Structures are given as C-alpha cells and as structure tokens.
Chains A and B, each alone.
Chain A
Amino acid sequence: MSGSRIDEALRGEPAFIPYLAAGDPDVESTKEYVRALVRGGADIVELGLPFSEPIAEGSTIQNAIVRSLDGGMTPDAYFDLVEDLDVEVPIVCMTYYNLIYRYGSEEGPESFVRRAAEAGIDGFVVPDLPAEESDPLREACDSYGLDLVFIVAPTTRGDRLKRIMDQVSGYVYVQARLGTTGARTDVSEQTDMSLGRLEEWDVPKAVGFGISEREHAERIVAGGADGIIVGSALVDIVAEGDTDDGTVAERLERKARELKEGALAGAESRPQPERP
C-alpha cells in the first residue's frame, strides 16, 4: 500500500483519530486543542475545513462549523493554522468538494492539494465526493503524495466496494451506522457487518460515526478495526467551554486518553491468531 505517514500510523497499535472543526471557536484555541489531543494519545488528527452546506454532518458538527465560519475561517486561514500546529502526527483535512474545487486561480483541485501539501497536510476525507467523481482529486493527491480516504457506508456493497478499494489510500473510513455524524450511546451491529465486508482489504480500517465512550472504542477495535475516529463527542466538549471539571484542553486530553486506552484494551481482547 501507500506506506505514507497515515498508513504507518495505523499499522502498529490501534489508532485514535480525533476530529475537530478548525477555527471552532477560533484559530488559537484549535491549535491548543489539537496539541491537547496529541498529548492524550491521538495518532492522526482529522481537522475539518468548514463548508457552509455540510450535508453529511449532524447538528453537533454543523453548529461547530457555523461557529468557525462566523469566526472568519477561510481555506487560507486553515492552511496557516496547519502550518503553525507543530505536532508530529499526520493531519487529515476533512472538507467538502466545492472548497477544494474552487481554491486558487486554476480550475479543479490541484491548487488546493498543492497548498495543502505545502502546509503539511497528509491526506483528505471529502464526504460528498464518491469514487465516481474523484479522479481529478485522486490524480492531484498522487502528484503531491497525499492520501485520499474514502468512506464505506453500511449500505455500500458489491461493485461499489471494489470501486472504492481501487481509489482509497491511507485508511478506509468505515461509517459505523447510517445517518449523519453525531455521538450516540451504543455501537451498531452495522459496524461489524461493514468490517466483515472489508476483511480482505490491505488498507487500514478506521471506524467513525457515533463513537463517544471508552467501551465503544474497545468493542470496535476488538471487532477488527485498526483505528477509531471520534468527532462529535470532542466537539461537544469544545462547545461546552471551560467547566468545573477543567478547561476544554484538559478535558479533551482526558477524553483522548480514555478513548485511546479503550482502543488498546480492544486490541488485547482480540482473538490471537494461532501460531504455526
């Protein structure tokens, strides 16, 4: 496979991949929060570049996007933020295709990808870009050595799986359940079925949508995931602000540690392969 920084981060112990909306509520806070998540054990960070029409997001992340846009977040401000981050873990840019397509003076995704590569971004997740429409972005990513992560939904089967397998690099984002993003209180059986369909794929599998607790992380990794992706549960902490339990950064670090430990525990409880 690609052997990229993202791929490597998912090939060892199970990875914890947090998501935050960049610029929620402002650029300096985002930098502080990302560093806190890394201290807590984040292996890769998905950093959202807010788009005004986030059709794949639930209300928690929608509201974060509104806060970020109201605070003046733009693609250029986003790239500056990433350049200033100074963290060792790979950064994945999660955004919608119109922002990628419109960036810079040239038509198409290349200007955006070039600037992202300069800023130190390692890959993309683009929720409204299915494999059918992704050739231009895939080519630009290949030119600059960036990964392009695709989402596999519980409804994805048959030929569509093959199409995604041919395009994906870095990791495959396994959507734990139908619907939009958002913290939930249980973990769906749809996750196990989705992971089962991808068993033979030689690309790391990270599960997201609805994960908020240590137990979810443990169960999902025990079920075969190489990583867990957590967004809304962290964005909730940002939205709440400082509380008696600590500052936002302190609580994000604590939550990251809890989820990472859950993932590690899940790996230990996996059935061990028989030795020859």
Chain B
Amino acid sequence: MSQSKFGRYGGQYVPEALMPAIEELEDAYQRYILENEDGFMDDFRTRLRDFGGRPTPLQHAEALSARYDREVYLKREDLLHGGAHKLNNALGQALLAKYMGKERIIAETGAGQHGTATAMACAHLGLDCEIYMGERDINRQRPNVFRMRLNGAAVNPVTTGRGTLKEAISETMRDWATSVEDTHYVIGSVVGPHPFPRMVRDFQAVISEEARGQVIEKTGGLPDSVLACAGGGSNTMGAFHQFVGEEGVELYAVEAGGSSLEVDEDGGVAPNSASLSTGSEGVLHGARTKLLQDSDGQIMESHSVSSGLDYAGVGPELAYLVDEGRVTPVNVDDDGALESFHRLSQLEGIIPALETAHAFAFLEEEYETLGEVVIVNVSGRGDKDLESVIEETAERDIENAPEMDVFRGGL
C-alpha cells in the first residue's frame, strides 16, 4: 500500500497551490515524527506530560461494572489539559510547525475542543493562531469560543452553508491556499490529505499506548472490546491504534445516528453523522473516504446533537479498517446519547462530552456482547455541552435527567 493510502482510501486531493506545503509536511512528518530528528518526539512527550498532564488514568468504573456485570474501564482523556483528547494532536502539530519555522497557525473547529486545544498549544509555544468556526457552532459552543479568545486566538465565524464543521474546514483550506508559505493548518482529526490522517493518528496513538499498558497492569491481559465515539475519528484511531494488530480485541466505532438513519436526498440532508455506517465512497477535503453524499456526489448536511460528531466524512484509515472487517461501525441516536450523558454523570460522577456519551449509549445497549473487559475512551468532558444539553433535554422525556423546569428560560 502506498504511504499516502489506506487500501483504496486516503490520498492527496487538494488544489495545486497547497501541494508543495503538503510535500514539505510529508518531509517534516518523516524526519521529526518517524525519525525523531532534533529530538522532536522527546520534546513532544515532555510537553504532553508537563503541560498536558499525561499519562491520563485508566479508571475502573465501579458503578458501570456492577450495572453491566463485567469490568468496565474508562480511559480518562477528559482529564487531559483542556478537557479533551484534542490536545495530543494540537500540541503535536503546533510544535511541528514551530520546528518547521512556520509562524502562523490556522485551524477549524466544530464543538470548539480542537480550537481550544490549538489556541492553548499556540499560546504555550508563542505562535499566532486563527480559528475558523461555523456560525451555528459558535452559538452552540459559547464557552469554548471564549476560551479560545482568552488564549489569544482570533475566532473567525464561517457563514457559508449550514455554518458547521464541514464549511469551517473548507474555509480553513481557502485561508491556507492564500497563506501557505508561512502558515501551518492544524487539521483537527484523522481526515484531510496525506500525511494528516497518519500524523494525527500517531499523535493520538498515545491514548492506546497508555491504555494497553494500563489494562495489562490492572487485569493481566488485553481487553475484549474497545469503544470510542467516531466523528472524524481522531479519538477513535488514537484509542484503537495499538490494538489493531490484536485480533482478539473487538474495536467499536460509535457514530452519531442523529434523529434517523434515513436521508432526505431532495433536501440534501442526512439527519445523522454516520458516514461509516451509512455513507458511500467519495472525495472530500483532500481524501478519498466514506461520505454522506447524494447520488450526484454533492455532500450532504449532517446532523448530530453533538457538534463534535457533526461531520459528513470520516478518516480514511477508519473507512479502510471497516472494509477490512477489523473495526465494527455502530451508531446510537441523539436520545440515547442524551440519556447516557445523564446516566454517566449520576452513576460515575463524570460529566462526559456529548460525543463520548454516544459510546456509553452503545455500552448500555450492547454490553452483553462486549466480553468481560471493556475499555471506553472518554474522549472529553462535557462542560462545553451544558447549554446544548439543557436545551435538548428540555425537549425530551429522559429518565434520570434533573428536573428541567427550573432551567427553562433561565439560560
């Protein structure tokens, strides 16, 4: 398989103006990350530990283990600095940009976690930072927008299309095509043109490197299943990477089923973000992968209650691993995710990101099939989602949710 592809997926489908920068990045990826030139990886690991707070714990979840009658372990990426796994990648790429002599960083963000992590990494490293974010997501994720600005980043609203992550990525690529000579684009997931999907996976692989050692230490063996939510797929690939070669470990990528798996072809809308479960092959944002698209190849608007999963594509390596039968794509709907959000908050004292809540909803539905030892990757914490959760919970009848009357109209 060529370095730029995962089977039939991946590649480099970008405007010519960006190709020299992509080649420069390939070279930097090879030298600094794969060959540790100038001690780059040592520097990265040190900063991940001292600035980022790694390693994160693998916590035995007592209440969940009792509820499901098996051993449930939580990989606590919500405890990483910034509150999500996103820092692993943002810090890695910002540091790489610094080693490459780039002065300006641009990034896109959906839920705001990647933008926040990038803004933090740039402040830490003294780099200029501009974040593109869909106008709709800005409204859904106000605390994260403020956090980015606190760290000195400019936040540029994107008003094209429906104003979500898909449009923000397109807009960031446009900026990069103009500024490519002094600017690095810190792409936020295992998507985009090669080498981004591999590079982001390598930065996120620290999750499964740690989890693998930790689970062996705690249980004496490998887990039966690993669960991670999948939008673009960066926490998914990070949680899976060190287990892909272990055939006995089942890997579940939990997608956002949204409100329905049906699509409205005339309206160009998929009321879900389940590209692995329901999408078809195509080319978007620099890579061939699985996409939500209509029969003409126009990209559909996706939907999820969780902004962080609301994207019409998925990383090419995940698409490949699904085709190979190594990763099982599953999905849960908005209601299930919200129920799990409340359940986990009450049972374990952990308020998960809405993205992560999808993985817990799958655990609730399918625990009987997941074996004796299950790891769930807690991709991030849910503080950023509280406004959305209040609004969405008020519209539903959710068991275990707090009494919502007191909140109505209050926030």
Contacts and interface: CB of A to CB of B under 8 A. Distances in A.
**Do A and B truly interact?**
yes
Among B12, B177, B295, chain A packs the most CB atoms within 10 A around the CB of B177
Interface string B271-298: 0000000000111111000010101111
B21 A155 contact: yes
Contact of B285 (A53, A74, A155): A53
Among B174, B177, B282, B297, chain A packs the most CB atoms within 10 A around the CB of B297
Contact of B166 (A53, A127, A179, A180): A53
Interface stretch (A25-33, A80-88, A128-136, A235-243): A128-136
A74 B298 CA distance: 9
B16 A150 contact: yes
27 contacts: A52-B161, A52-B298, A53-B285, A55-B14, A58-B174, A97-B283, A98-B282, A98-B284, A98-B299, A99-B297, A102-B293, A127-B16, A130-B12, A130-B14, A132-B12, A133-B12, A150-B16, A153-B20, A154-B17, A155-B17, A155-B19, A155-B181, A156-B20, A157-B20, A160-B23, A175-B16, A178-B181
Contacts of A98: 282-284, 291, 293, 297, 299
Given A66-B160, A128-B14, A180-B177, 13 more contacts: A52-B161, A52-B268, A53-B166, A53-B299, A96-B283, A98-B282, A127-B15, A130-B13, A130-B15, A153-B16, A155-B180, A156-B17, A175-B17
Interface string B9-46: 00111111101110100000000000000000000000
B59 interface: no
Nearest to A50: B298
Interface string B297-315: 1110000000000000000
A55 B16 contact: no
Given A55-B285, A97-B13, A156 B19 contact: yes
A191 interface: no
Interface residues of B, number: 37
Contact of B16 (A101, A156, A179): A156
Contacts of A128: 13-15, 283, 286
B177 A56 contact: yes
A146 interface: no
Nearest to A127: B15
Contacts of A101: 282-283, 297
B173 interface: yes
Interface of A: 51-58, 62, 66, 69, 74-75, 96-99, 101-103, 107, 127-130, 132-133, 150-157, 160, 164, 175, 178-180
B346 interface: no
A128 B161 CA distance: 20
A275 B268 CA distance: 62
B15 A55 contact: yes
Q: 10 nearest interchain CB pairs?
A: A102-B297, A179-B178, A153-B17, A155-B20, A98-B283, A56-B15, A52-B298, A55-B173, A98-B297, A151-B16
B214 interface: no
A75 B177 contact: no
B104 to A, nearest CB: 14
B170 interface: yes
Contacts of B295: 102
Nearest to B173: A55
A154 B15 CA distance: 12
Contacts of A164: 16
A62 B161 CA distance: 10
